[in-house]
Amino acid sequence: MKKSDRKQAILQLLEQYNDRIGMSDLIAHLGASFNDRTVRRLLSELRKEGKVLKSGAGPSTQYQIVKENLYNDESNPSIEEGVTDYQLEKVFKPKSLAIIKNIRQPIFTRKPVSYHKTWLQSYVPNQTFYLNTQQRQKLSDAGYRNLGNLGNSAQKIQPAGTYSRKILNRLLIDLSYNSSRLEGNTYSKIDTEKLLLQGLEQTDKLDSERVMILNHKDAIEYLVRNAEQLTISYQTICTIHYLLADGLLPIQDMGKVRNQAVRIGHSCYYPLEDKKRLETNLHEIINRAAQIIDPFEQSIFLLVHLAYLQPFMDINKRTSRITANIPMVKSNLVPLSFNEINQQDYISAMLAVYELNEVAPMVDLFCFSYLRTCHAYDATIEAIGFDPIRVKYRRIRRDLITQIIRNKRNKKDADRLIQRIAHDSIPTKEQALFRQSVV
């Protein structure tokens, strides 16, 4: 029997048992082909994949299947690809661990709740913070460090989208793959890259999975292409939803606030149902988000509150993840790619938002994933040979090249023009590098 089949047999038994079960009972039900050592190893792997919970210790150790799956995907693919050296204690602080333990209790023990507008209203932009000062500084130091010797201040004044355009392929692959993975998509990262960059489809995958990934590509390219004009607005969010929903929802539901009820699987949270109230609250989220100065705080606010409101018939969390990247793209920050996030931990963090209005687990995931992403993107920038002078003076350089071509200047005249523009427009210590970037 294949390893995957053995795992599936264990999961099916745990699901049928519908309660905690000890090791001896588990082995007895599985049959003679499963020995004690094999079952323990497979259970350990299933725990790392977020599919099985363990309680107790020693002879009293018991196991149960994780039931809080918001996405209703029967495959529930392994999150091991792209999730390395992952332990709860490395990601979550004690407060978050306590919240997660609470939210993973059986659904019948959790109190039904509705949308709390007062939670949104209690958030005062630039006075209320989900990320504390230390977290914001740490994220800023990491996110603004990737333009070499250009430095933080210079990076911030570059045209919006400069950095994202430079690492566009990496951004498309990472964000499309990870955001889709969190929805239960079974495309591997390699297959995602082949689909996005070469158009190669996997014949053994569902069409909806392929469309989901391609829709992410369209939405991400929309952000990068329109970075300089992009704002946190009703139109922007509806456009992002439209692009993500294309081919997955009826056309009347694409990019439009819903006018009927939705329910979240395995959650006791009941979102708003009235379209007028949904639109009112969506506008309030947008207005508050637009006032937030810090890009990281703006990002986590959008990530949390768009998903909490559930303004669309479906694809709300995907919309929140892409929208949360607007501040990153506009500020030339490393993007928020949701790298190395365990699917079940993301689900638990969302449940904490839905049912408890607690953001601590999502904040911990946000910080953990973003910092890991920054380290990975350092290598990307080094590999592609990022030239900060070309970026810093790109407009001057383009105007200069246009003049040379339009006026058909010979090499001698062109050199004189380059010297003059460099002298008049570029700081002395960077003039030589600027001239080299033009030549």
Q: Tens digit of pLDDT for each residue in 132-189?
A: 999 999 999 998 854 444 444 444 556 776 777 777 888 899 999 999 999 999 999 9
84 in a structural domain: no
The total number of structural domains that make up the chain: 3
What is the pLDDT at residue 8? 83
What is the pLDDT at residue 92? 93
86 in a structural domain: no
83 in a structural domain: no
CATH number at residue 29: 1.10.10.10
Is 72 a residue whose pLDDT tops 50? no
In terms of average pLDDT, the best of 65-79, 356-370, 377-391 is: 356-370
> 303: which 2 tokens?
């990530």
Q: Does residue 316 sit in the same domain as residue 346?
A: yes
Q: Quote the domain boundaries for residue 11.
A: 3-66
CATH number at residue 246: 1.10.3290.10
Q: Out of 32-41, 66-75, 153-162, pick the least confident.
A: 66-75
Q: Out of 15-29, 168-182, 284-298, 307-321, pick the least confident.
A: 15-29
259 in a structural domain: yes
Name the pLDDT band for 80 (thresholds 50, 70, 90). very low
- Domain edge (last residue) among 66, 82, 115: 66
Q: Does residue 144 sit in the same domain as residue 122?
A: yes
Distances (CA, A) of 298 to 4, 303, 385, 401, 436: 41, 9, 30, 38, 39
What is the pLDDT at residue 84? 47
What is the pLDDT at residue 414? 82
299 in a structural domain: yes
77 in a structural domain: no
122 in a structural domain: yes
Q: Out of 13-22, 231-240, 346-355, pick the least confident.
A: 13-22
Q: Does residue 285 sit in the same domain as residue 353?
A: yes
What is the pLDDT at residue 409? 76
Q: Does residue 296 sit in the same domain as residue 332?
A: yes
Which tens digit of pLDDT belongs to each residue from 338-361?
A: 998 999 999 999 999 999 999 999
Q: Does residue 10 sit in the same domain as residue 115?
A: no
Contacts of 136 (CB under 8 A, 6+ apart): 129, 294, 296, 297
What is the pLDDT at residue 149? 41
Q: Does residue 33 sit in the same domain as residue 99?
A: no
For residues 280-296, average pLDDT: 98
How much of the chain, in percent, has pLDDT values that exceed 90? 50
Closest CA to 351 of 275, 280, 226, 265: 265
Q: Does residue 44 sit in the same domain as residue 127?
A: no
Q: Does residue 13 sit in the same domain as residue 145?
A: no
Are the C-beta atoms of 207 and 225 separated by less than 8 Å? no
- CA–CA–CA angle 181, 184, 189 (5° rounding): 30
Distance CA 285, CA 292 (A): 11
H or E segment and range at residue 114: strand 113-114
What is the pLDDT at residue 381? 56
Q: Does residue 304 sit in the same domain as residue 401?
A: no
Query: For residue 63, which phi and psi values (nearest 5 degrees)?
Result: -130, 150
Q: Does residue 57 sit in the same domain as residue 122?
A: no
85 in a structural domain: no
Q: Does residue 323 sit in the same domain as residue 222?
A: yes
Q: Does residue 288 sit in the same domain as residue 147?
A: yes
Distances (CA, A) of 114 to 46, 104, 269, 357, 372: 33, 19, 6, 11, 35
Distance CA 164, CA 318 (A): 19
